[in-house]
Structure formats: structure tokens, C-alpha cells
Amino acid sequence: MVLGRTADGLFWMFRYLERSENTARLVAAGLRIALTRSRSGAEEWSSIISTAGATDAFLARHPGYEFDGVVDFMLRDRSNPSSVMSLIEAARNNARAVRTALTSEVWEATNETWMLLRSALKAPVKHHGLPEVLGLIRKQSAYVRGALHGTMLRNEMFNFARLGTFLERADNTARILDVKYYVLLPSVVHVGAPIDNVQWETILRSVSAEHSYDWLNEGDPNPAGIARFLLLDGRMPRSMAFCCDQILENLRHLESGQHAPSPSLALAEGLADSLRGRDAKDVLEEGLHDFIQEIISRIGKLGRQIETDYRFHA
Amino acid sequence: MATSMYKEDIPFDEMFMAGGGVRRPYSDYHRWLEDQHARRLQQKSSEADALFRSVGVTFNVYGNKDADERLIPFDIVPRIISAAEWSKLTRGIEQRIRAINSFLHDIYHRQEIIRAGTLPARLVTGNSAFLPQMIGVTPPGNVYTHIVGTDIIRTGESDFLVLEDNARTPSGVSYMLQNRETMLQMFPDLFSAVNVRPVSDYPRHLRRCLSNCPPARCEGRPVIGVLTPGIHNSAYFEHAFLADQMGAELLEGQDLRVADGRIAMRTIRGYVPVDVLYRRVDDDFLDPLNFRPDSLLGVAGILDVYRAGGVTLVNAPGTGIADDKAIYSYIPDIIRFYTGEAPLLGNVPTWRCSEPDHLAYALDNLSELVVKEIHGSGGYGMLVGPAASKRELADFRQLLSSRPENYIAQPTMCLSTVPIFARSGLAPRHVDLRPFVLVSPDRIHISPGGLTRVALKEGSLVVNSSQGGGTKDTWVLED
């Protein structure tokens, strides 16, 4: 028997963890740009803040998009609910609240992550120390995920943990594309110019896919290829298609043995249908921005429906 | 490492005799200890700390915002009790707890003990821990205190006294279990050298104890839950730990509601009845309809469901009257009244400041006494006369004079010492003992050992974790 509050705690614990990992990835991609092309740094940082949905909060605290300010805001600032530290703390609080639903390995991995990051992020992170801190965040996320996979029963609790992970990941990937969609538009005509190659690479880098893209696509990135890869390629673990499959699988597991299909399953199938059989070139021509806005809204609706269907709240 | 005797002008030490010899229960351990290198022990000691932190065995300190989660310091030298000492202790504890349960049943029914003139009526009916809502209610199995943590102090070779009865929601059992786990992990060889009675079956006994008292409306195997005030409570770790170890639900007030005369928990598939609630929420906060209306921790109407046999509450509401510090001094009389036997375990002599001659004595001898608030706990709001400043003494003099009925006074007891592993080697520190008792309708189970709390500051007599105390693994030797 799973309590509604436990399902809520697990679902959000893994949303927070996934989000913190994505934040670290975004900062890593930004750092890369800042290192290679110092002049468009500010633009890059501003799109990172915007992807995190924190533009207003950031500008209220910082005069402009400078390296130190952005890194501090995204990694350490506790007044920013999507900073890595805030997220890890929220994830750990949830883990404490659902302690009995976790194996001791998952709990200890989460607790250790919190302890290590709290000490690594105690003081502002200097330029030269950033790669190490980002590496630590990535490593710890992998550790928690490994503990989850290696030790948790494949039961309903596991399903809620996974639903949180993939809903959040789908949302993050969609947001990255949304902020950068103009880079992929055909109307931006400097095709082949170095500026766009770097921009495209940044998109791939923010989902840690710069190498897998090359492997699978045997060639230079191009807008349609990138859109296809991030939206429709079921082999790529941060793509929309992949996340949708996982969401469906976990919802179906939760529904097995139940009398009637839940509204959330219907919404998830709707989301999957909106991707099925689509062609990336058509999507780009019909309007990438609208397409992604639609997906983001579907993901939001699905998340809220899961919370209702499974009685997260009284 | 060298384990020579320390200063001689000390009180009863449980490891070393006055002449420098080692007391019997410690002889095997001491032999092992002499073969260890101080540096290895030092290293083990810091390993223990890291272990506690990563497991998350922490407690929250009220009124301390900076360090909202702290470790209770763990000392690696065990406290050892012989089989004979233990059997004497358990007989005394059992007798005391049977008497307390008879007493609780009596004061919520016929009140024979008051009619007989053994206990003044005002101590019961005028006591805020007495719940009129429990009058005439008999809990399932007639058990009031399923879970008790009796605080015992030792003052000599064969002198054990009860300091407090803790019949509401005693905490600390998770430390007993975690301390042993830690010792087993760090010193596995030690446990083949010394024959120690295991404690790891406590969660199983606890589960059985809870299942033994299902409510009248329970059908089939009882569904068990631990009701916690939530992650900000100082003992949250323990609540989660026990629920996890027992395979019980860890519940908060927000998960529960009254449905069809039962207490039901909100699951992902709907509301499901809970039969037995091991509640770690105080009486006052249990039911906003019946007690404090501002409480968000309890369940509205739970007391009515309880009275109608829809749920078992563990411990029963209203048991606090039995561990009230004003009632404490009457416990020897209570034991005689209900069992017809002389108490096997004594009390610490107690002056009830509500009585004029006792108050006069307390005021005259304040600097030698320990003064406690009747409803205080956790070492808060108490005065240790010999360690107090002039200012503190003056403050308490005033408090005592203005509200004497709110206080009791006791002589400063010289608690026994057990060595701790300090930087400079072994050093004696004062300890107490909290054995954990589980009461079922037909039997009483006492986990061998319990929690030894140790005052880490040299000379200090206050062992409470909130006041800088630590803990030790506690061993009861096999016969």
C-alpha cells in the first residue's frame, strides 16, 4: 500500500534530482561557450537563466549576466528555488519524509550527495573550480540513480520515482529547445557559418549528446537533425520520445489490475501521439516554437493529473 | 593500549574497582582492550561518527536554528551489565510496570487508591495529565503503557534506582539499535571474544506487541502505523527507523481522517483503515476536536474512534499521569497497593515542594539539590544545585517560593561512571540507563540492555542529549 503523500514525496524527490542535474548540465554548456567565445557569453548565460524559468528572479538580484553572478545564482543561491543547492536540499527533505519507501542505499546516496554538495558549495565557486564542482554534481546524480536501479523493488514506489524523473526530463529538454528554437529556424540563414555550428553544439551539449549525435548521425549537426534527435529519436535517453515511452511504461504498470484507465494515462498517450510519426523537417516548417509550447503545456497537465489520480494531496 | 586506573576519589565506577582491579563483567572486554592500539581506536571513533552521519542518525535541537540536525556523540567503550545484575533489574522493572498499568486502570475507573487514602485526590483530578475523556474506557487488552523507557541510575555495586518512568512516548530505542550495529561493524572480533545478548530483534518484538492489542473492529491481520509529527520533530529519525524496521506505515496527521468509525489513511487507491497507531504525538496534539484545537499534528475525532473501539492508540491517552513527577514519589506506595509486594527497585528520595515542610527543606538546602519542574523533561527547566551559579540559585529560589506545587527536589545523586574513550585515554563519565519495555496483555518483554546515556563533560551529571550528552552501546552478558 502506497500512501498518497509517499507517492508525492517520491515523485518530487526525483523531479528535484533530475532538475538539479539538468541545471548543472546547462551551466557546463554555458561555461564551454564562455571559455571559447567570450563576447557572446552574456547572451548564452541569459538563455540558461531563461531555460530555468528564473529570468525575473535573477535580474532582481543581479545587474547583468556576468559569469560569477550566474554561476552563483544557478548553483548556490538558496533564494533561487531552482539552484542546485535548493534542489538537492528539497530532494533530501523529501527523501527524509519518505524514508521508509526508500532502500537504505538510496537514502544514504541522497544524504551523502547533500552533505558533499553543501560543503562544495559553501563558498562561491571560482572559475577554475567550476568543472570540478559540476563533475561532482554529475557523479552524485549517477550515484543516486545507480542506487535506485540496483536496490529498489520494481513496485509502485519505483514507478512514482521514474515518473518524476521522466516528466521532469521531458520538460527540461522541451525548455532547452524552446529557448534555443530560433537558432534552429530555417530563416536564420547563416547556414554553415561558424556561429551556428557553435550554437547547435551548445544545444547538444546541454543534453550531454554532442558525441552520441555524431555517432548516430555521421556528420555535422544541422537543424532538422538536431530537432529530430531531441524530439523523436527513441534511442536518445533525454529525447521527448524516450521520456514519453518511459512515462507510458510506468503509468501502465501502475494501472495494471485496475478497473478503468486513469485520465493521466489518456493524457500520456495523447502526448506520445503528438510525437508519433512526425517528421522533423515538417515540424520546423510548421513552427518549432508552437510545437514545443504545446508539448510543454501537455507535460504540465499530465503532471497535475498524476497528482490528482494518485491522491497526492488530501 | 594501556588502561591504567584513573583518579581514586571517584564514585562507583562500573569498570574499575577502587583498588585498580577490573570488575568481573568487564574482564573479557578489558583483556581485548589491552591488545588494541590507541591510534586504531581513535580512528574507529571517527569512523563511527562518519557512519552515523551517512545513515542520517541525527536529532533536531529545539531552539537552535544553526544546527538543526545534530549527531548524538557516540562513545566506543561499551557499558556492560552482568546476567545477574540484569535479571535483578528486569524483575524490578516488570513489577513497577505491572503496578503502573493497574494504577492507570484504577484511576480511570473506580479510583480505589484514592478511596483508600493512599494517594491524595488532588494529585490525580487536579493534574493536567489526567484525561477525563478516559474515565470508564478500558483499552484493548487492558494495556495502557505498551512501550515504556524506565530511566535507571546506579549508585553502587547493588544499588539501582528508578529516576523516571517515561510512560508516554519514550524515545532513544533507535540509538540502542544503531549503537549495536555500529559496534558490530567496527569491532566484529570483539563480539566473538565476549558473549553479548543481541538486541536486533527489538523491531520484531515491537511489531508483535502492537499486533497483540488490536481494536475491537479490526478484521484479520492488524494494519500498523507509526504516527509522527513529521520531519521537523526531534525524534523523526527514530519514527522513520522503527516504521521501516517493522514494515509499518509511517503516517502524519495529514494522511489520516475518520471514515466509518475508523481511522483511515490516504493511499494512492483510496482510504484504508489503520488498526493500531503507535503514535509519537503527545496527548495534547492528538485530536484537535478533543484537545488543543490549534494542533495540526493529530486527527480530528480520533479520540472518539478510539473510545468506540475503532483504533488502538499506543500508548493509551492519559498515561502521562503515571510518569508525572508529582506522582513519582508515590510509586513505591502504588506498587505495594496493587501488587502487595515490597518494591524491588527503589526511588530517588523526593521532596514534594507542594508540602510546606518539604519546601522549607528544599529552600534551605537548594545548593545541594536537584530541582525539577513537575511537567518538564529533556533536562530543560531544571536546577542542579551543586553546579549552579549564585544567580541561578536565586532565580530558582524565587520560582520555588512563588509556585511550589510546580516543583520537586531530589538529592544530587552520584551516578555511577563508565570510562569513555577520550583523547587522553580512558576517562570516567557519569551514566544512566534507559531499558526499553514492551507490554502485551500476557507478558512483558524487556530488550537486554537499553540505551546508556553518558555526560561527556567531566564531572557533569546531566546526560540528556539536548544538554551535550552522548550514548554508549549497552551489553548484557549471557549467563
Chain A, window 240-279: residues with a beta carbon less than 8 angstroms from a chain B beta carbon: 254
> Inter-chain contact B55–A104, Cβ cutoff 8 Å?
yes
Residue B297 in contact with residue B230, Cβ under 8 Å? yes
Q: Cβ separation of B267 and A100 shorter than 8 Å?
A: no
Peptide bond before residue B315 is cis, with ω within 30 degrees of 0: yes
Cβ neighbours around B272 below 10 Å, total: 15
Q: Which of A2, A99, A115 sits opposite B244 (nearest CB)?
A: A99
Look up residue A80 and give its amino acid. Answer: N
CB pair distance less than 8 Å for B54 and A3: no
pLDDT at position B378 is: 59
Closest chain B residue to A254, measured at CA: B268
CA atoms of B369 and B307, how far apart (whole Å): 43
Map grid coordinates 544524504 to a residue: A111
How far is the alpha carbon of A298 from chain B, nearest alpha carbon, in Å? Answer: 23
Chain A contact present for B80, CB below 8 A: no
* Cβ partners under 8 Å of residue A46, min gap 6: A55, A65
Rounded CA-CA distance A136/A130 in Å is 10
CA B335 to chain CA centroid, Å, is 20
Q: What percent of chain A has pLDDT over 90?
A: 63
Q: Judge: B267–A4 Cβ closer than 8 Å, yes or no.
A: yes
Supply A271's cell numbers: 502526448
**pLDDT of A76 over the 80 cut:** yes
Which candidate from A100, A111, A156 shows the least CB-CB separation from B240? A100
Q: How many CB atoms lie within 10 A of CB B60?
A: 16
Ordered per-residue pLDDT tens for chain B, 479 residues: 444 444 444 589 999 998 889 999 999 999 999 999 989 999 988 888 888 877 777 665 544 444 456 788 999 999 999 999 999 999 999 999 999 999 999 999 999 999 999 999 989 988 888 999 999 999 999 999 999 999 999 999 999 999 999 999 999 999 999 999 999 999 999 999 899 999 999 999 999 999 999 999 999 999 999 999 999 888 899 999 999 999 999 999 999 999 999 999 999 999 999 999 999 999 989 999 888 888 888 999 999 999 999 999 999 999 999 988 889 999 999 999 999 999 999 999 999 998 999 999 999 999 999 999 887 665 667 888 888 899 999 999 999 999 998 899 999 999 999 999 988 889 999 999 999 999 999 999 999 999 999 999 888 888 887 777 899 999 999 98
Give the three-class secondary structure for A187. coil
Of A4, A96, A108, the CB nearest to B231: A96
Q: For residue A83, what is the DSSP state?
A: S
- Measure the CA angle with vertex A195, ends A192 and A197; round to 5°: 55
pLDDT of residue A292: 92
Q: How many contacts does A have with B, using Cβ atoms within 8 A?
A: 62
Buried b or exposed e, range B94-115, using 16+ CB within 10 angstroms: bbbbbbbbbbbbbbbeeeebbe
| Chain B residues inside the 8 Å CB shell of A311 | 266-270
Shortest alpha-carbon distance between residue B54 and chain A (Å)? 6
Question: Which one of A2, A7, A100 has the shortest CB-CB distance to B244?
Answer: A100
With cut-offs at 50, 70 and 90, classify the pLDDT of residue A186.
Answer: low
CA pseudo-torsion sign A65, A69, A71, A75: negative
Which residues on B lie below 8 Å from A264 (Cβ)?
A: none
Predicted TM-score (pTM) of the model is: 0.89
Per-residue confidence (pLDDT) for residue A260, from 0 to 100: 84
Average pLDDT over residues A44-62: 89
Q: What is the pLDDT of residues A24-41, one digit of tens each?
A: 988 888 887 777 765 566
CA distance B237 to chain A (A): 8
Q: Tell me what pLDDT residue B53 has.
A: 79
Q: Among candidates A186, B18, A69, which has minimal Cα distance to A77?
A: A69
- A8-11, Cβ contacts within 8 angstroms, sequence gap of 24 or more: A8/A307, A8/A312, A8/A313, A9/A94, A9/A95, A9/A97, A9/A98, A9/A101, A10/A94, A10/A98, A10/A101, A10/A157, A10/A160, A10/A161, A10/A164, A11/A160, A11/A161, A11/A163, A11/A164, A11/A306, A11/A307, A11/A312
Contact A2 B249 (CB under 8 A): no
With an 8 Å Cβ cutoff, is B230 touching chain A? yes
- Over residues A122-164, the pLDDT tens digits come to 999 988 899 999 999 999 999 999 999 999 999 999 999 999 9
Name the least confident of A171-175, A211-215, B150-154: A211-215
A13 min Cα distance to partner chain B (Å): 15
Nearest CB to B268: which of A4, A97, A111?
Answer: A4
> In chain B, what residues touch A310 (CB-CB under 8 Å)?
268
Which of B241, B243, B252 lies nearest to residue A5, judging by beta carbons? B252
Q: What pLDDT, on a 0 to 100 scale, did the predictor assign at position B380?
A: 66
Interface test with B, best of A2, A3, A102, A250 (most B CBs within 10 A): A3
Alpha helices (runs of H) in A3-121, residue ranges in sequence order: 4-36, 41-51, 55-61, 67-75, 84-97, 104-120
- Please tell me the distance from the alpha carbon of residue B73 to that of residue B465, in angstroms, as a whole number: 9
**What whole-number distance in Å separates Cα of residue B57 and Cα of residue B175?**
8
- Reported as half-sphere exposure (CB side, CA atoms, 13 A), residue B111 has a value of 16
Option in B53, B241, B257 nearest A115 (CB): B53
Q: Do B266 and A112 touch (CB under 8 A)?
A: no
Distance of residue B249 Cα from the nearest chain A Cα, in angstroms = 8
Dihedral angle of Cα B302, B304, B310, B312, to the nearest 10 degrees? 60
- Residues pairing with B439 in the sheet: B444
Q: Cα–Cα distance between B213 and B38 in angstroms, integer?
A: 50
Burial of B136-158, coded b for 16+ CB within 10 Å and e otherwise, reads: ebebbbebbbbbbbbbbbbbeee
Nearest-CA distance A149 → chain B (Å) = 19
Query: Does A97 contact B231 at a Cβ distance shorter than 8 Å?
Result: yes
- A99 and B254 in contact by Cβ < 8 A? no
d(CA B7, CA A266): 77
Span A89-118, pLDDT tens digits: 999 999 999 999 999 999 999 999 999 999
